[in-house]
């Protein structure tokens, strides 16, 4: 039996679609709001592999002053103390969501310094060249150049990202297709089934490739 750190490491060898296919074989279809993100979320920088980690969540407002806020250390302390790879998950809860940035290059460098492997923003990002320089995989719903008063409202509560509900400490895999949520109770079985899915799909694709080559030669 593998520990969760090993499972996270090995899942990064697969893409989010293969993981989602594996989970269908294990548990059948489930609601998309519990399964994967919708098309509004974009991958702006990924790196060489899919990103797998534990969700540390935050609800933020980047545009207007708020009466009740909490210190950002509450969020960053959660990132720092997790002994597993972390994916920061930020949700913009302003009325005019996306009008101001909730993630930039300074935050990217801080996340990486604290051990995070990526950040998902349900909202806009900025300073993309600096985020890439930090080698911080990043997803967001748009890009803008600025923000107003930037407030942390909640941390380690349920958030919604591109129609996917994410709870604190959920296991996530992200790539250029988006984010897939993996229930931890089936994570190890999902890893095993991923290899079966990959082998089966490779055989089918290779057969199609042969037919394409034969068609061109005729």
Reading the chain (218 residues) residue by residue, the pLDDT tens digits are 789 999 999 999 999 999 999 999 999 999 999 999 999 999 999 999 999 999 999 999 999 999 999 999 999 999 999 999 999 999 999 999 999 999 999 999 999 999 999 999 999 999 999 999 999 999 999 999 999 999 999 999 999 999 999 999 999 999 999 999 999 999 999 999 999 998 887 766 766 766 666 666 65
Do residues 163 and 172 make contact, with C-beta atoms less than 8 angstroms apart? no
Give me the sign of the Cα torsion angle 187, 91, 153, 113: positive
Q: What angle do CA 120, 124, 130 make, to 5 degrees?
A: 75
DSSP annotation of 12 reads T
Structural domain of residue 95, as residue ranges?
A: 4-217
Residues 6+ apart with CB under 8 A from 158: 57, 165, 166, 167, 168
Residue indicated by tokens 């940035």: 101
Give backbone dihedrals phi and psi of 28, rounded to 5 degrees, phi first. 80, -175
Q: Six-digit token pair at 27? A: 């548990």
Q: What angle do CA 209, 214, 218 make, to 5 degrees?
A: 150
Residue indicated by tokens 């750190």: 5
Task: State residue 216's pLDDT score.
Answer: 62
Task: State residue 217's pLDDT score.
Answer: 60
Task: Count up the domains in the chain and report the number.
Answer: 1
Q: What is the CATH number of the domain that holds 59?
A: 3.50.30.40
Task: State residue 202's pLDDT score.
Answer: 73
Q: Six-digit token pair at 68? A: 């009740």
Do residues 40 and 141 make contact, with C-beta atoms less than 8 angstroms apart? yes
Q: How many CB atoms lie within 10 A of CB 157?
A: 12
pTM of the model as a whole: 0.92
Task: State residue 154's pLDDT score.
Answer: 98
Do residues 100 and 124 make contact, with C-beta atoms less than 8 angstroms apart? yes
């Amino acid at each position: 039996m593998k520990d969760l750190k090993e499972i996270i490491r090995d899942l990064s060898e697969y893409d989010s679609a293969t993981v989602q296919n594996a989970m269908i074989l294990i548990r059948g279809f489930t609601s998309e709001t519990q399964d994967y993100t919708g098309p509004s979320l974009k991958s702006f920088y990924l790196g060489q592999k899919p990103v797998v980690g534990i969700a540390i969540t935050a609800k933020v407002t980047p545009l207007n002053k708020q009466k009740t806020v909490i210190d950002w250390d509450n969020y960053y302390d959660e990132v720092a103390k997790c002994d597993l790879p972390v994916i920061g998950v930020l949700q913009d809860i302003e009325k005019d969501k996306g009008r101001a940035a909730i993630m930039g290059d300074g935050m990217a460098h801080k996340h990486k310094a604290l051990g995070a492997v990526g950040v998902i923003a349900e909202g806009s990002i900025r300073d993309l060249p600096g985020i890439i320089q930090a080698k911080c995989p990043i997803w967001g719903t748009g890009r803008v150049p600025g923000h107003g008063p930037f407030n942390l409202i909640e941390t380690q509560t349920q958030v919604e990202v591109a129609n996917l509900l994410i709870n604190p400490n959920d296991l996530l895999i992200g790539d250029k297709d988006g984010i897939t949520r993996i229930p931890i109770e089936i994570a190890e079985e999902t890893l095993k089934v991923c290899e079966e899915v990959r082998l089966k799909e490779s055989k089918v694709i290779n057969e199609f490739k042969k037919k394409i080559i034969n068609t061109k030669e005729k």
